[in-house]
Structure 1
Amino acid sequence: MDECSSEIGSSSNGASGHSPGTLTEASPQKGSATDDDCTSLQSLYEKYSIQQKEIERLEEQNSEYREKLLRTIRERDLNEELLRNVRETQKKEMSEFEKRIRDYEIQLKAVQERAAAQEAHYTVTMKDLSQKYNTSIAQLTKKADIAEKEKNDAVIKYATREAEIMRIRNEIQKKEQELVECQKAKEELQHSQGQENIDHLEKSNNNLRVELEQVKHEKFDLENKLKMAEKRAEACNTTATELKQQNDVLRKQLIQMKEEKSQFQEENRQLSLKIQILESRRMHESEELSRSQQDLEQKLTEANSHCARLTDANREMNTKLEEVTRENLDLMNKLQDLEDKLSLEEEAHAAASIEIARLQDIENQIQSSRKQAQRAKEAEEQAEKEREVAENEAEECRQQAERMLAITEQLTERNSQLAGEVAAEREKNCRLEQQLVETEGSLNRALMKLSEREKDLEEATGSGQSEIASLKSELNEKIVKVQQLTQRLQEERTDNAALKKKYMANIKELKHELSSLRKQVDPGSGQALQAPPPSGDSVPSTSSRSRASSLNSLDRVTTVSRDEDSAQSAQASAETNAIQQVMIDKIIVLQKKLARRNDKIEFLEEHVRHCLEELQKKTKIIQHYALREEASLLLPSDGSLDKVPLSRKGASYSLMGAIFTAGGEKRSLQLATEVNSRLQAVLEDVMIKNITLKSSVDSLSNEVSRLSRENRQLTLAHSRCAEQRP
């Protein structure tokens, strides 16, 4: 093109240089031809200039295209180097993973062998424990028979003691009847002697009857209150009817001894002596019962010492079981180490997924560069070479995919084997649980029988003690009643003494008034005739007023003092009752508030625990979903692929066949992404299987912990049985 342009330029220059001579020479001959030539030359020159501009434009475009091609070639080389490096790293990681898997297989075999040995050891130990348990049950049955015999003996002893107590009570009743007869004889003698004294005291009693009537009214009120209280006591204390008869006799004596106060003290003294005698007898009976209780306590101490010996034997069994639990803990630690290694592998897998994402970005860049390279026709040869290299790499990827599939098949087989072993272990654990439940049921029954027998013995002893306490309480009540009656007698005596003093003072005042009146009447009869009426009327009126005022003042003082004391006591009791009620109401309100707060706290704790469990479940689901979504994003997005299948787990076709039958289309990179997506799916399946294995390992750890707890419970049961041995 440059040569043509130079020739055209030279011809144009020559034409331009020789044009004046030619025109001057040929002007006369060829005038019309020259005009045509000029026009043609001008048109050719214009075309030449236009073509030259187009050529320059095309050269510029060519230079730009060359630069773009060089850039794309450089980017392609860099991408190829990156792909090679990534593939080398993947190969190294895959080899490392295979080595780790082999190591894990060896460790799993060792763990399985250890588990089998431990199972055999546990079966032997369980047989020994079952034999020991059977022997312990036989011993417990023997002990139960012995305890039943002892119980029957104790019941017989208790019945004999009750018969003795009833006999003693009958004797006491007979003696009380004899005492009543003696009292009646004494009363008759006292009446015969009292009649002589009554004749001398009738005169003095006639003067005091008026005063005694007021006292009688008060006493009748008190007696009515006492009768009401006694009726209530009679309803509550049905067993003490005979003692109530004595109280009735005493009441009759009190009514009669209002006239004979001096003799009442002697009778009270005699009654107190008799009560002391009865108390001494009952004290002897209580001492005998306390001695029997001491004998029973000695037996209990002996049983406690025997239980202590059994606890020592139980501790030895506990030490043995602790050694077994330590071995189980060692196994659990090993399982945790395996879980840590699996977590490390998961982290490495996550790093590999990140690198795959980077490769995907690189592949997208390569696709853009390939679109630009397809426009250039000169890069076809280089693209064919790249195709050959890609085919070789695809073959390597296919080999790696086949290896990974074989590894996954092996892992699935091993997982199925582990699942079968886990199911067998669960069945064994269920059987052991059933045996343990049966043994626990038998032990609980034996313990319930023993507890029932102990309760029967406690009830027997408690009933005897309650009867003794009731008798003591009745005696104390009777003593208190006698003391109250004596206090009332003393109060009545003091009241009678005060009344006598009042009457003596009144009599003295009357005597003084009479003497003064006599003195006034004796001096003059004339004055007596004129002035006696007013003087006589005034003096007695003043004296009577003074006497009445003194009596009223004394009565008011006594009544006011009594009313004040009763009012103060009533106010104090009312205030204490009100304060107690207020405090009780406050305590009830606070207890209700505390109960509500405790209920709220328990509800919140349960709600928080439930929410945490749901969050953990949701995090697991989200993690699995995210992993699945990341793997699905690696699938090809082109919908126009005819030779490349889009299913992740379909194995009815081959990617290599699609590569070789591509029909000239450059889709090796897309197929490589498909291979990577399949590898990602395989890795996801492996991760899911690892998660299931973790869950199974956790379940096994929980079962091991449960078995350890059950072993501890068995040790406790055996220790109890050993404590109960003779």
Structure 2
Amino acid sequence: MKASHRDALLRKHLKYLQKKYGTNLRFNFNNLKENDRLILLQPIKNLCIPMKDPFILQQHRILHHNNDLEISSDCENQFFFMIKTLYSMFKERNYQLLSCSNANQVLQYSSSSEDKKLRLTVDSRNKSHENDILSNSNVFNLYLCYFHLLKNYDFLENIKEELLKKLEESEQIRRESIYSNEMKFCKICSVLKDELQTLKEKYNNISKNYTISQMEKERSVMNYATGEKRLLEAQKSIKLVEKKHQEALKENAGLQKKLQRAEHDISKLATEMNSKCSEIMQLRNQIERHRDSDNAKEMKLKWAQNRLKIITDAQEESQAKLNECLAKNTELKNQCEFLQSQVNDKIKMVNKTDENKVTILDQQLKEQQARLIMERHVIEDAENTRIKLQKEYDILLDRQRIADKENHLLISQIHSLQREFTECKTEVNFLRASLEREKEKVQTLESQLSQMETLNKHLETKEQRLCALEVELKRLQLEKADFQADIEALRQREIQMLDFTQKLTDKNVQLQCNFTNIQSKYHILENSQHPLEQRIKKCMEDIASLEQNLSREKIKRSEECNVLAKYIAELTLYNQTLLYQLEDLEGEKYILRKRYELAIREMNREVYLRRTKTENNKSLPDASSSENCANCEESALKESHSQNSSLNEIGNAKMYDVLDKENLYKQLIKLQKINAKRAERIDFLEEHSHALLKELQKKTKIIQNYGIPCDINTNHGKF
């Protein structure tokens, strides 16, 4: 039935009711839909009558008992208004007309879907209007027929037969009273003709409405088929979404495993990085030590070269002095030979001369003897000088031999130092190559770390996608629930449609009622969806707050990790500094021990020399010859010179002559005290280094056991 035609019919009935009863009733035709739901208004109080059960309105009282519904009114003028409201209610509640009695003004309706009955009664307090209502029973019947003809075509045909019977009866009555009431009957005939025309028009309209209802039925069948198709498509989409959800869950599990592996690899790489850094630091320290040792060896080489230069210069000077002494010795030897030759010549000359010249010769002999004595003294002095020079020459030769030995030793030391230098160079080159390799490894590890960071970012993006997919999955689950609810409703409707195929005529009205029920359910679902949407909004707000809290916690945890990393780096640096201090102290200890041993050896040698000197001084008499004293002094000088050449830290030979026994003992006591203090210091430093190593080991164990494997929360709590 078209909306415009229906509105025109309703307006006609309203005009008739307003003319007859003067009721101020009007309809709001703007909200009319295809399911014939009307919103009825009462303009007197501006109240809207809702289509719900039970409800209370002024001058209308509706009571909903267990199985019956009773509606009563206090005014006869609003009887038709109540009928309209009941008709709209009957459409929603699936009621059907059982009986109608106009005399008692009672309507009884029953529902096909529910075992309920409805009874309408009108209490007519104004008895003056009662006859009017009873006299206008035809209008009432016509009005009821209009509403029931909208529902059932068979029922309309019965009403038509009844109306024709009533028309025939009216015609018979008119024929009997033709003479007395011609004018009245003419008027009545004209009225009846008009009514017949209206009825024919109504019949045509009803037939049209019937065809329209059939078309609507076919449309409803097509809608049902399309709904089933949509349902199947929705089920397929739900299955696809579930498959996607399962795949997403699998991908999430795989990504979580990859994340765990990546975290494990990152921890391994971090440990490897730390170990490589420690190795690099050790290699750098070794290189620095080798550089220091190379510098020290170069200094020793320079010092040995300078000493060699000094020794060679001294050797050249001694050779020059030797040459001068040899030249003087040869000159003296030549002079002695010349004098002997002269003496021999004179002796020969004396033997050849005469005896007369004995006196002269005696005098000359005496003079010559004196000269010879003088020459002997000169020769003795020359021999003494020659002996001294020879001794000096021997001393210089010994010195030269010692210098040659020292030179050979120094050359061997230089060669050994050069070899060590080349070895150190090779070691330095090897260490540089190893350093470059370690740098390359560090670069590769850094690249791996960057790759792992990119993987973590990719995993975070995938997690965000998974969260979005989960949100979509929840939404789809909600849609699935809605679809299932719709499916259940559609199944019920399918059952009703199967019954409808058996009883086409009866189920037409039921389909409309079901449609109205579905719309009411839809509105109920819409009303119930608002709290769900509010809950979803709250859930989204909670999710946003949780994400913010999660980001804050991530930032906190990253800061805590950075703090822990800094703390671990400081501990490692402190450990390395302690190790360097320990190594330096061990080197100092070794050097001090060597110095102490050298000093003790030197002091023992000095004591031994002094003892030998004192024993020699006691054993030898005071009237020893000057030559022996000179020899002793020379031997002492040789020994002291050899000691000075072997021991570089002791002073010259003159200082050893000056020192007494007491000074030597005092120096020994001082050195022993210094060595005892140094030994105590070394022991204290060793104990301190062992204690520091134990503390470092404990801290590293604590960090390994509690810092690295545990969660960040536990780390923060413990540290």
TM-score bucket of the superposed structures, by smaller chain? under 0.3
Higher helix share: 1
Structure with greater contact order relative to length (CA < 8 Å, sep ≥ 6): 1
| TM-score normalised by L of structure 2 | 0.28
| TM-score normalised by L of structure 1 | 0.27
Structure with max Cα Rg: 2
